Structure 1
Amino acid sequence: MVVADPAVVLFATAFATALVGTGVAWLAYQGYRRNDSDAMRYLAVGIALITVGPFVVSYVLSPVAELSDAATLLGVLLANVAGLLAILYSLEGT
């Protein structure tokens, strides 16, 4: 029986989420450029913040800046909140 290292599985799923999120955000950005729609721009930013933001905070900023676990978690949560606010604005504010 093969047992996968939990850290490797966590990294792989976070990377896959960031990769798919980048693709979805790119499609929303294409919609913004095609239709000059501010709502699509905010949607693209929100999706990128929710999917790519936590990956960047956890696997890029945290090791480089030597952040504590609490600071890393705060960064991930702030990226999620900012992304949700951008998506909310794209749906309601424009």
Structure 2
Amino acid sequence: MTSLITSLSIISHLATIVVGTYVAYQSYRGYRRNDSRPMLTLALGLVLMIPIASIIDLVLLDLRILTALQSELVIQTVSISGLIVIFYGLIQT
């Protein structure tokens, strides 16, 4: 049962990484197409919030370098950094 839950967790993380990367890529394409700097900051913020945070979570979960609380703190810091970048892009217009 534990291996099933672990496998589902890894599959969920991988799906999040793929979908998040695709959404960020579409934002980057919007930046390239319209030469819109807010779209670039949106893409960067999305990359930080979704795939990078998920990769860090997956690595920290697998390696168990940090405690659960420390791992969550690192992941939340990366996600909040992504939100700050997105907010900067929104107020930049």
TM-score, shorter chain, exceeding 0.5? yes
Which residues of structure 1 form unaligned runs of 5+? none
58-67 vs 83-92, which moves further: 58-67
Report the Cα distance in structure 2 between the residues aligned to 1:74 and 1:4, rounded to whole angstroms: 26
Partner of 1:23: 22
Partner of 2:71: 72
CA RMSD of aligned residues (A): 2.4
The percentage of aligned residue pairs carrying the same residue is 32
Residue 56 of structure 1 aligns to a residue in which SS?
A: helix
TM-score, normalised by the number of residues in structure 2: 0.83
Report the Cα distance in structure 1 between the residues aligned to 2:2 and 2:73, rounded to whole angstroms: 31
For residue 77 of structure 1, report the CA deviation from its aligned partner. 0.2
Partner of 2:84: 85
Where do 4+ consecutive residues of structure 1 move more than 4 Å? 61-65
TM-score, normalised by the number of residues in structure 1: 0.82
Partner of 1:10: 9
Amino acid at match of 1:39: P
